[in-house]
Amino acid sequence: MSLESAYESLDQSLAELSEAVSALQITISEDKPTQGSTLLVDQFDNLVVDMLGMLEEADAHLPEFLWNIKSSKQLELARHELFEIHSLINRFTVKYFREVCAHDYIESLLEMGRERGREWREWSHEVKTSVERFAMPINKIIEALLDCWNELAQRMMHGTVSMQSTNKSATDNITGMPNWAGFKSLLID
């Protein structure tokens, strides 16, 4: 796999995840039953909007990452962009697992649906299903990030210079064992 192929995979995975989050946000905000709203629904909507913002920010870093991987002189900048993307995906994933798909949160949503009747029950089940759809795109994006890091590291290694000395006295000086023979002759004269 090349770095460009890894980039394409990352771009596609990010688009799939963004699409799933956007679909959830529409379900929460536009498809909810018209009668009655709750603080729980508003909080859930805010969480999802925050997560969507993280993905949009990660997506905004992708063009710079692509631009910088095209030049061997810009690989450090590419590394910085990839780090920013990865940090945002990590924040997204933490928010997803700790808050959005947390058992207590989903159970509260389903309980609210049971208490409010058929329309709310169907809506809460649709929200739960939408949340569960994130699993595959999250796995894909994690794999794509690993591929990008691997390919970037390999490309950066090709630009490194390895030096090896064959001069014994230079080796002695490097290892901390100075060659005192020449120094003593200067002092005696």
Taking only the tens of pLDDT, the chain with its 189 residues reads: 888 999 999 999 999 999 999 999 999 988 888 787 788 888 999 999 999 999 999 999 999 998 988 888 889 999 999 999 999 999 999 999 999 988 898 999 999 999 998 999 999 999 999 999 999 999 999 999 999 999 999 998 876 544 455 555 544 444 444 454 544 444 454
Residue 184: inside a domain, yes or no?
no
CA 42 – CA 40 distance, rounded (Å):
5
Residue 170: inside a domain, yes or no?
no
What is the extent of the structural domain holding 30?
A: 3-162
Cα distance from N-terminal residue to C-terminal residue, the chain: 65
Residue 115: inside a domain, yes or no?
yes
CA-based nearest residue to 36, from 125, 128, 117, 99: 117
Residue 181: inside a domain, yes or no?
no
Residue 90 neighbours by CB under 8 Å, 6+ apart: none
Give this prediction's pTM.
Answer: 0.79
Residue 113: inside a domain, yes or no?
yes
List, as one string, the DSSP characters of 95-123: HIIIIIT-HHHHHHHHHHHHHH-HHHHHH
Residue 171 pLDDT: 47
CA 175 – CA 145 distance, rounded (Å):
40
Output the CA torsion 132→134→140→141 (10° steps).
-150
Residue 108: inside a domain, yes or no?
yes
Residue 180: inside a domain, yes or no?
no
Count of structural domains, the chain: 1
Residue 38, phi then psi, degrees to nearest 5: -130, 160
Residue 189 pLDDT: 46
